[in-house]
Amino acid sequence: MSFFEELKKRNVIRVAIAYAVGAWVIVEVASVLLPTFNAPDWTLRALILLLVAGLPIALLVAWMFEITPEGIKKEDNVDTEEEVVFKARSARKTDLAIMAALAIAVGYFVFEKIWFSDVVRGNNDAIAVLPFTDMSPRRDQEYFAEGLTVELLNMLSRVANLRVTGKTSAFQFKDFKGDFSTIGDTLNVGTILEGSVRAVDKNVRITTNLIDAEKGHTLWSANYDRQLDNIFQVQDEIARSVVKALEAQLLQTADEPVDRVVVAEAYTAYQQGAFLQGQLTVEKQQSAIKYFQQAISKDPSYAEPLVGMADANLMLALNMVAIDRDVGIGEATGYLDQALRLNPELPDAHVAKALIKQINFRDLVGAEMDLKRALDSDPQHITALRRLGTIYGMQGRYDEAMETFQKIIDRDPLNAPTYSNYSYNALAAGNLPVAEDMIGKVLEFKPDSVFANFQLARVHMAKGELEEARISLEREPHPVWQNIGMGMLACMEGDTAAGTSIADELIAQREIFNAAEIYNLCGETEKVFELLQQAAADRDPALTEMKLSWAMTPLRSDPRWLEILKMMGLPA
């Protein structure tokens, strides 16, 4: 008798199959029940190791012993006629039981792993994190609640196979009084994380609820009473609990629990600064800087406030012209260097460094590298994606730009500026239907949105629909965009005098690039290059968008155009 036949005779193979099926059932049941009782993560791993260790023991017992009509006996290799009949019947019963168990296992696999897979189940792998509610006694912790929401949103966005709605879209439902199904339908998500924060001194209570968006019932909820010093651990704990509830898979970079500690006063000051930084006035930026300075003084190892200082200085220098440009950029660079020494992978720091390279040095290649490094750490970083798409557009890489903006839209479907950027690139690429569709989304969300009607008017002009362009311009709420659009339209209608008159007004206001666009639509090419040469000599930042200009598309092959691109550090 061969060894394999001996294994069959002693039922070792049947025992191995039965053991494997039984162990699988135990693991599946444990994976459901253990989280219910808040069992530690190692419990399931220990159970699996125990079951694996038990397999050789079970096989050894099957080899050494046999079941007879008189009970379990040691294998003697001699079977009576009665034992042969008994073993044959037992074998058939065992085979039927094993086949039934295997059928259940296969059915479970098909039903759970395939029928409810990402392809079939739709948007159940998508979640929106709504702004947490401030439940503090004086209702003065809104900055903390908002900051915690953003931190959780960012942590969950690093989970594999989980689409997390971006802040712009999710925060539109702050204080929303409607039902969850409306939110789910609008954001195309199956689950919603909501909660509240109650912070007193160094203590914080965080209440969280994971909601089925369609049915409105709670899938999971928990309360966390913690010290602010351990805020990063509790954020990680909440994120992991949500991941468990959704049965998602953590990215490898997030496998280890967070063990970061931050001084409570530093965290609070940083969140106050970040909250103020989102309010775009000079006074708020200056107040934000004071809070960031407090955070740094309380905890010098805390990198995020240093990035906040850099962003505030860049905002004051570049966007608000409230401080000297060189001073602001120099201060920002110093803070970013400090932040990256503390945390070399901090995405926001790389995003800010990319902005400095793009704006101050016109180093689009270096900026692109910094943005891609930020995306290596956080593949769904909205700002990094938006600026990377912008750089692609500046270089004439329209398809890559639109693909990048689509990634934002997939995650942040109510992010109106991204639709505008998408339309801008589609128009430059000559894809008029897409350009019209994308800017139409902006107007659907907000009919009085600044720039959107101007952009729609340009699309109509590109299509030769001049009357529709005029109607769109009349709806444009911003007088500057409306005036530029009217100058373009006048040239398209053949009223050169009216068009160039508006262009001359723009020249007086130092809006050289827009004036050049109007002159080109009026057919005065020599004047266009005179203006572009002047703007290039002045290092006018508006020229970085030369390749995005629909109005000057016919000039793209002109040697003078290529020379100006070279002067601006743009690819030909």
> Which DSSP string do the residues of 145-204 spell out, in sequence order?
HHHHHHHHHHHHTTEET-EE--HHHHGGGTT--S-HHHHHHHHT-SEEEEEEEEEETTEE
The reported pLDDT for the residue numbered 236 is: 77
Helix (H/G/I), strand (E/B), else coil: 222 = strand
- Summarize pLDDT for 411-423 with one digit per residue, the tens: 999 999 999 999 9
Q: What percent of the chain has pLDDT over 90?
A: 46
SS3 of 520-532: HHCCCHHHHHHHH
Q: In whole angstroms, what is the distance from residue 420 CA to residue 437 CA?
A: 10
**What amino acid occupies position 277?**
Q
In 3D, which of 411, 444, 386, 372 has the Cα closest to residue 157? 411
Rounded CA Rg of the chain? 32
Say yes or no to pLDDT of 485 above 90: yes
φ/ψ of residue 286, rounded to 5: -65, -40
The reported pLDDT for the residue numbered 256 is: 52
Give the residue with greater pLDDT, 152 vs 5: 152
In 3D, which of 306, 315, 325 has the Cα closest to residue 279? 315
Least confident among 169-173, 234-238, 275-279, 524-528 = 234-238
The reported pLDDT for the residue numbered 342 is: 93
For residue 569, name the pLDDT band (cuts at 50, 70, 90).
confident
**What amino acid occupies position 93?**
K
- Summarize pLDDT for 340-355 with one digit per residue, the tens: 999 999 999 999 999 9
Helices (H) and strands (E) in the chain — how many of each? 26, 10
Alpha carbon 375 to chain centroid distance? 10
- Summarize pLDDT for 304-339 with one digit per residue, the tens: 999 999 999 999 998 888 999 899 999 999 999 999
Cβ neighbors of 109 (< 8 A, separation 6 or more) are: none
Q: In whole angstroms, what is the distance from residue 186 CA to residue 180 CA?
A: 10
For residue 259, name the pLDDT band (cuts at 50, 70, 90).
low
In 3D, which of 465, 528, 461 has the Cα closest to residue 491? 461
Which H helix or E strand runs over 67? strand 65-68
Question: What's this model's pTM, rounded to 2 decimal places?
Answer: 0.72
Say yes or no to pLDDT of 539 above 90: no
Say yes or no to pLDDT of 439 above 80: yes
Q: In whole angstroms, what is the distance from residue 151 CA to residue 89 CA?
A: 63
Helix (H/G/I), strand (E/B), else coil: 245 = helix
Q: In whole angstroms, what is the distance from residue 147 CA to residue 267 CA?
A: 10
Q: Which residue has the tokens 């952009």?
A: 455
Secondary structure percentages of the chain, helix, strand, coil, to 5: 70, 10, 25
User: Do the beta carbons of residue 332 and residue 352 sit within 8 Å?
Assistant: yes
- Summarize pLDDT for 43-63 with one digit per residue, the tens: 878 888 888 888 888 777 776
User: Do the beta carbons of residue 139 and residue 204 sit within 8 Å?
Assistant: no
